[in-house]
């Protein structure tokens, strides 16, 4: 599903942040991406999200070389990928329902066509009674669940998560991880960046360890 061949990344004329990354991610897998702060986890996720181009090497997704895609094709590819951020990145003036429904809305679909789907998903993440609430009145855990719902509403093949549990307490972190686990069981490929050791210990998924720009895999 995802294949990196000798991928390197540098910003401008600076040093290489990511060096010679070569790996493959199988469909339906779950990987933790871990490593110390500043090791390049977010940069790697941005490469996977196709919001950055590598300085060298090739990236393939779904059997297609995505390194130098045209903008329109890039947009189509990006719609197969969901993303969850540590800082939620919900739009503060939209309700929970509207935030989660945003991916449908940007595709020009009518509310009638996705309403039931969004409601069902909000029920599933436990926010069925918070549909009309603005993000300002949601707790950290609720915001993150809304962000996860927004990321998976259009049923992406790949779900990327950048420190999704960074702003919630340990108990809630674990509950969120169960949510990701359930999504993975439904077939979504997940790469979740975290450096929370307790989660890495409790959930036995393969780890991608990024250190000094180099990536190693640990089962």
Partner 1 sequence: MTEPRKIGWSRPTPIVPSQSVAGRTLMLLIGIMTFLSCVTFGGVLLVQKSAVGWSADVGREVTIQIRPLDGEVLESNLRLAVSIAEGVPGVSSAHALTLEESERLLEPWLGAGLDLSDLAIPRLVVVRLADPNAADIARLEREISAISGASLETHAAWRVQLNTMAGTIVVSGILVLALILVATALAIVFATRGTMSTNREIVDVLHFIGASNRFIAGEFQGRFLMIGLRGGIVGGVAAILFFIFISAAMSTVMPEQSSAQLGVLFGQFSLGVAGLLGIVGVVLVIAGLTAITSRLTVRRFLSQIS
- Candidates 28, 119, 140, 207: give the one binding partner 1 (CB under 8 A): 119
Contact map string, positions 165 to 184, toward partner 1, x by CB under 8 A: --------------------
Minimum Å gap between C-beta 83 and partner 1 is 5
**By C-beta, is 35 or 156 nearer to partner 1?**
156
Binding mask 75-114 for partner 1 (x = CB under 8 A): x--xx---x-----x-x-xxx-xx---xx-xxxx--xx--
Under the binding rule (CB under 8 A), the answer on residue 155 touching partner 1 is no
64 interacts with partner 1 by CB under 8 A: no
Q: Cβ closer to partner 1: 13 or 71?
A: 71
Asked if 154 is part of the footprint of partner 1 (rule: CB under 8 A), the reply reads yes
Three-state secondary structure readout of the chain: CEEEEEEEEECCCCCEEEEEEEEEECCCCEEEEECCCCCCHHHHHHHHCCCCCCCEEEEEECCEECCCCCHHHHHHHHCCEEEEECCCCCCCCCCHHHHHHHHHHHCCCCHHHHHHHHHHHHHHCCCHHHCCCCHHHCCHHHHHHHHHHHHHCCCCCEEEEECCCCCCCHHHHHHHHHHHHHHHHCCCEEEEECCCHHHHHHCCCCEEEEECCEEEEEC
Assess 128 for contact with partner 1 (CB under 8 A).
Answer: yes
């Amino acid at each position: 599903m995802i294949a990196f061949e000798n991928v390197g990344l540098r910003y401008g004329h600076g040093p290489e942040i990511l060096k010679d990354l070569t790996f493959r991610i199988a469909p339906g897998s779950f990987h933790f991406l871990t490593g110390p702060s500043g090791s390049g986890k977010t940069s790697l996720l941005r490469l996977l999200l196709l919001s950055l181009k590598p300085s060298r090497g090739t990236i393939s997704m779904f059997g297609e070389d995505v390194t130098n895609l045209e903008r329109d094709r890039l947009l189509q590819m990006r719609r197969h990928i969901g993303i969850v951020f540590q800082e939620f990145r919900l739009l503060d003036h939209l309700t929970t329902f509207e935030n989660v429904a945003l991916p449908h809305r940007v595709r020009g679909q009518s509310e009638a066509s996705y309403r039931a789907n969004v409601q069902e998903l909000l029920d599933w993440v436990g926010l069925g009674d918070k549909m009309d609430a603005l993000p300002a009145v949601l707790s950290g855990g609720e915001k993150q669940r809304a962000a996860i719902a927004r990321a998976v509403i259009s049923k992406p093949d790949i779900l990327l998560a950048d420190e999704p549990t960074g702003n919630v307490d340990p108990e809630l972190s674990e509950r969120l991880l169960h949510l990701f686990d359930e999504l993975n069981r439904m077939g979504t490929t997940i790469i979740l960046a975290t450096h929370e050791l307790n989660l890495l210990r409790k959930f036995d998924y393969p780890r991608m360890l990024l250190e000094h720009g180099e990536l190693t895999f640990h089962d």
